[in-house]
């Protein structure tokens, strides 16, 4: 690694990768990835990217309205307008500039339907769109001579002066790096819950780093719970049964194998995610059972296997043939609508600090994200952040003065159980609906854990960083809910 860069990007999901690709080739860029490049929430995205490509049968205004409805009209309309207007151009760029592949039907792009959308407008590649797009962007970034990739590395600390200083742990060694600008693209916070669709790296590190720098964090309590996680609680990471399965006609069933969504919403299985998750909770009260299923057996078996090859094979490994029997499902944590508060160009309240993707709060999603708007947001706003950095970098050059990250003498190992306890607190306090008494109790305990982590001379390693990030995230969420 060099000691100084123009831009350091933390996180290598679609927001981080696309941001790097849109930065000027004259800028020196370091892209830091906690694990291997392909491991991100982006790569786990199954459904696709919502964008109005077919303007004869759909419109940006319809996409705009659907996004507002799903978000309970709490969205930032200016951000939504940018999303729906600029989004199709980004999808075209994926195809034309980078060679991304999407499914076609009769020679044209195939558009699927998902909950909350009034028209089929989601472009997809099978049922693993996120991975396909991520792989395409990774190959493109690897060809950029101005971008240095650092995998298996953790940002343990950030300091702000004229520019930024980073304490980066790679292997067993700490490195000091400085930059003029920073883009945080660290993804979600799923690991603050016991069960989540998020990958193991989704511990809210970027949000915690920004918070410690004094950046404004907004609406961190706006957590989306996906209604159709595969109901296997043997692992913390829950396999997602994509919303596109319901988009292709799957039914939700209760413990009696009866459809029930007609009791709760006229849009049935294609109601927005928060509506469906709340309906499942209400049906659970009515039946006294946590058993729920997703049934697509009425569709031709060949269609199901070809349209959902990954989901089909994954649930088959668990002993369920989705062409012949319903899949057991249950809601779990999925997405974050809040985060590091940014403007329409991805800029935070801290000078030269930008955020993009799930760790940011653009206001696009309001109270609930519309299906397949996540990858779209990552593309649109990482591009806008890169454009602004390109413009500013031409106007002003600074020489960052590296900060010191003093080594802790006689550092103590982190005691076991802090992350497990934090997850249990969050699961009790806020799963789909807040539990006010558990919020009060949990906040008190999380405050104590936060103080313990901030004042005890623990060894600064990945375990410590992730524990501190999760406790910080839990603290902010519970404080907002009080």
Q: Point out the residues that are catalytic.
A: 273
Spatial separation of the C-alpha atoms in residues 96 and 94, rounded to whole Å: 6
d(CA 243, CA 240): 9
Alpha helices in 219-292 (DSSP H): 243-247, 273-287
CA dist., res. 165 & res. 224, Å (int): 33
Instruction: Give the residue from 11, 88, 100, 26 showing the smallest Cα distance to 51.
Output: 88
Distance CA 71, CA 52 (A): 19
Helix (H) or strand (E) holding 292: strand 292-295
What DSSP element (H or E) covers 424? Answer: helix 418-429
171 CB-contact burial (10 Å; exposed 0-12 / middle 13-18 / buried 19+): exposed
Task: Give the whole-angstrom CA distance, residue 378 versus residue 120.
Answer: 21
Q: Among candidates 225, 264, 205, 252, which has minimal Cα distance to 369?
A: 225
Nearest alpha carbon to residue 445 among 466, 431, 425, 468:
425
The pair of three-digit structure tokens given for residue 150, joined into one six-digit string: 């650092």
At residue 459, the 3 state secondary structure works out as: coil
By CB atoms closer than 10 A (0-12, 13-18, 19+), residue 55 is exposed
Burial (CB count <10 Å: 0-12, 13-18, 19+), residue 351: exposed
Largest CA distance in the chain: 67
Q: Which residue has the tokens 């907002």?
A: 480
DSSP helix/strand/coil, 336: strand
> How many Cβ atoms sit within 10 Å of the Cβ of residue 349?
16
Quick one: which H or E segment has residue 316? Answer: helix 309-317
What is the rounded CA–CA span in Å between residue 60 and residue 348?
27
Residues sharing a CB contact under 8 Å with residue 348, sequence separation 6 or more, in sequence order: 210, 215, 216, 340, 341, 342, 354, 355
């Amino acid at each position: 690694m060099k000691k100084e860069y123009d831009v350091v990007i933390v996180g290598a999901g679609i927001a981080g990768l696309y941001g790097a690709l849109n930065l000027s080739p004259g800028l020196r860029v370091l892209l830091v990835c906690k694990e291997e490049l392909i491991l991100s929430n982006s790569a786990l995205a199954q459904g696709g990217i919502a964008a109005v490509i077919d303007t004869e049968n759909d419109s940006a205004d319809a996409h705009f309205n659907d996004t507002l409805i799903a978000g309970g009209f709490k969205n930032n309309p200016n951000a939504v307008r940018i999303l729906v207007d600029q989004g199709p151009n980004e999808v075209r760029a994926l195809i034309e500039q980078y060679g991304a592949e999407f499914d076609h039907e009769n020679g044209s792009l195939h558009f699927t339907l998902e909950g909350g959308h009034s028209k089929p407008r989601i472009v997809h590649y099978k049922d693993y769109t996120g991975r396909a797009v991520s792989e395409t962007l990774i190959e493109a970034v690897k060809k950029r001579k101005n971008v240095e990739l650092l995998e298996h590395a953790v940002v343990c600390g950030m300091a702000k002066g004229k520019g930024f200083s980073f304490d980066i742990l790679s292997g067993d060694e700490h490195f000091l790096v400085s930059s003029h600008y920073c883009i945080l693209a660290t993804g979600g916070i799923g690991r603050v819950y016991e069960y989540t669709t998020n990958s193991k790296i989704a511990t809210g590190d970027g949000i915690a780093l920004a918070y410690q720098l004094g950046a404004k964090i907004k609406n961190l309590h706006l957590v989306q719970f996906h209604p159709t996680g595969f109901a296997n609680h043997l692992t913390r990471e829950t396999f997602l049964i994509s919303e596109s399965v319901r988009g292709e006609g799957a039914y939700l069933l209760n413990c009696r194998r009866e459809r029930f969504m007609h009791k709760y919403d006229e849009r049935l299985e294609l109601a927005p995610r928060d509506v469906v998750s709340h309906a499942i909770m209400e049906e659970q009260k009515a039946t006294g059972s946590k058993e729920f299923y997703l049934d697509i057996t009425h569709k031709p078996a060949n269609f199901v296997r070809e349209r959902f090859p990954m989901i089909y094979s994954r649930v088959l490994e668990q002993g369920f043939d989705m062409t012949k029997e319903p899949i057991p499902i249950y809601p779990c944590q999925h997405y974050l609508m809040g985060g590091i508060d940014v403007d329409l160009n991805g800029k935070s309240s801290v000078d030269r600090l930008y955020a993009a993707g799930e760790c940011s709060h653009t206001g696009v999603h309001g109270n609930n994200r519309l299906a397949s708007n996540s990858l779209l947001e990552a593309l649109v706003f990482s591009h806008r952040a890169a454009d602004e950095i390109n413009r500013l970098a031409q106007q002003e050059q600074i020489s960052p003065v590296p900060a010191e990250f003093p080594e802790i003498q006689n550092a103590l190992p982190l005691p076991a159980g802090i992350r497990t306890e934090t997850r249990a607190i969050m699961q009790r306090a806020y799963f789909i609906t807040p539990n006010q008494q558990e919020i009060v109790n949990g906040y008190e305990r999380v405050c104590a854990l936060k103080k313990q982590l901030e004042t005890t001379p623990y060894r600064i390693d990945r375990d410590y960083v992730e524990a501190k990030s999760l406790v910080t995230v839990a603290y902010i969420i519970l404080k907002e809910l009080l």
